[in-house]
């Protein structure tokens, strides 16, 4: 499972001469970072990292916020027609993006949002919050009623109950959602590929995918690209390992 990553890391630090002389399986003769540096400059990788972080971070926060509002009404408010509302969110989450992509592309051109990071942030905030609403509604459905009633008797409005009681108590679930939304958005491909065409707005995924599609790179630079693409994901993984496994189990059982 991790073997491909090791092979990639080995070849990303080889010089082209070393690679062509000894092939992909040998150990590098020395640490040669030109491939990494060339690739970084060629695609302006720092910029792509910034775009990915900005888009994913904004989506994570906004989608979590939207999920909390929706789930408060469904899970605690028990609004009428709740199973239907919930089914609607689940189905929205399962919709293939292909069925949205052309109208989103067309409409964003009409309103002047095409090729802006904001357009991608808006779309993914909604898509991710569909899953968040589904998960958080079932968690809040089991929220102890006495706690809420006690706060209400003390004179808190619904808005105050949400921020002072429900959100602090649900912090672990909201944390899981933030991590998942961030990583999912970071990894998204189709919509960013269609919506972010200028170099300045592209994400890491799109930049790497487009380069790969053009097949312009030599083997060492391909490996440098792959290594730079793997590293952020690997960092998230090390930081969020526990949250991730907890979240998957939670998502599956609900």
Partner 1 sequence: MSSHGHGVRRGRREYPYALFLLPGALAFLAVIVVPFLMNTGISLTHWQGVGSPKWAGLANYRELLDDSAFWESFRHSLAMVVAMAVLPTALGLVLAAALFDYIAKHIGTRTASVLRACFYLPQVLPIAVAGIVWSWILAPENGALNEALGAVGLGSLRQDWLGDPDFALYSVMAVMVWVQLGFPLVVFMAGLQRADPSLHEAAELDGASWWRRFWHVTLPQIRPEIYVVLLWCTIAALKVFGAVYVLTKGGPGGATNVPSYFSFQSFFEKTQVGYGSAVSTALTVIILALALAALRLQTRAEDQ
User: Is there a contact between 156 and 190 (Cβ–Cβ < 8 Å)?
Assistant: no
CA atoms within 13 A on the CB side of 57: 6
Q: Among candidates 12, 34, 16, which has minimal Cα distance to 229?
A: 12
Find the binder of partner 1 among 15, 29, 141, 158 (CB under 8 A). 158
Examine residue 42 and tell whether it contacts partner 1 (CB under 8 A). Answer: no
Which residues between 195 and 234 bind partner 1 (CB under 8 A)?
204-206, 208-209, 212-213, 219, 222-223, 225-226, 229-230, 233-234
Backbone angles phi, psi at 153, to 5 degrees: -65, -35
Examine residue 170 and tell whether it contacts partner 1 (CB under 8 A). Answer: no
Examine residue 6 and tell whether it contacts partner 1 (CB under 8 A). Answer: no
Find the binder of partner 1 among 17, 107, 118, 147 (CB under 8 A). 107
Examine residue 193 and tell whether it contacts partner 1 (CB under 8 A). Answer: yes
Q: Give CA–CA dist 241/235, Å, rounded.
A: 10
Find the binder of partner 1 among 96, 112, 144, 168 (CB under 8 A). 96
Closer residue to partner 1 (CB): 53 or 193 = 193
Only segment of 35-43, 135-143, 170-178, 239-247 that touches partner 1 (CB under 8 A): 239-247
Closest separation in Å from C-beta 105 to partner 1: 8
Examine residue 114 and tell whether it contacts partner 1 (CB under 8 A). Answer: no
Closest separation in Å from C-beta 193 to partner 1: 8
SS3 per residue for 77-142: CCCCCHHHHHHHHHHHHHCCCHHHHHHHHHHHHHCCCCCCHHHHHHHHHHHHHHHHHHHHHHHHHC
Find the binder of partner 1 among 100, 113, 167, 169 (CB under 8 A). 100
Examine residue 163 and tell whether it contacts partner 1 (CB under 8 A). Answer: no
Examine residue 35 and tell whether it contacts partner 1 (CB under 8 A). Answer: no
Q: Give CA–CA dist 127/115, Å, rounded.
A: 19
Q: Which burial class, exposed, middle or buried, applies to 191 when counting CB atoms under 10 A from its CB (0-12, 13-18, 19+)?
A: buried
Closest separation in Å from C-beta 198 to partner 1: 16
What is the enclosing helix (H) or strand (E) of 163? none
């Amino acid at each position: 499972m991790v073997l491909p990553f090791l092979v990639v890391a080995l070849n990303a630090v080889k010089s082209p001469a070393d690679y062509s002389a000894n092939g992909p399986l040998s150990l590098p003769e020395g640490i040669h970072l030109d491939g990494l540096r060339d690739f970084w400059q060629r695609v302006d990788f720092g910029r792509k990292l910034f775009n990915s972080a900005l888009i994913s971070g904004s989506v994570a926060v906004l989608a979590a916020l939207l999920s909390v509002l929706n789930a408060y009404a469904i899970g605690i408010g028990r609004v009428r027609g709740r199973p239907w509302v919930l089914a609607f969110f689940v189905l929205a989450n399962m919709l293939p993006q292909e069925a949205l992509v052309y109208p989103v592309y067309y409409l964003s051109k009409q309103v002047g949002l095409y090729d802006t990071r904001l357009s991608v942030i808006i779309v993914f905030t909604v898509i991710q919050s569909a899953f968040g609403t589904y998960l958080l509604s079932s968690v809040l459905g089991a929220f102890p009623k006495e706690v809420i009633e006690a706060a209400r008797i003390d004179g808190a409005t619904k808005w105050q109950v949400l921020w002072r009681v429900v959100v602090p108590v649900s912090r672990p679930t909201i944390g899981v959602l933030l991590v998942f939304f961030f990583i999912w958005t970071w990894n998204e491909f189709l919509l960013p590929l269609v919506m972010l065409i200028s170099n300045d707005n592209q994400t890491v995924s799109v930049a790497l995918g487009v380069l790969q599609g053009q097949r312009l790179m030599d083997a060492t630079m391909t490996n440098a690209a792959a290594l730079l693409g793997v590293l952020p994901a690997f960092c998230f993984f090390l930081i969020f390992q526990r949250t991730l496994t907890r979240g998957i189990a939670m998502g599956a059982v609900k």
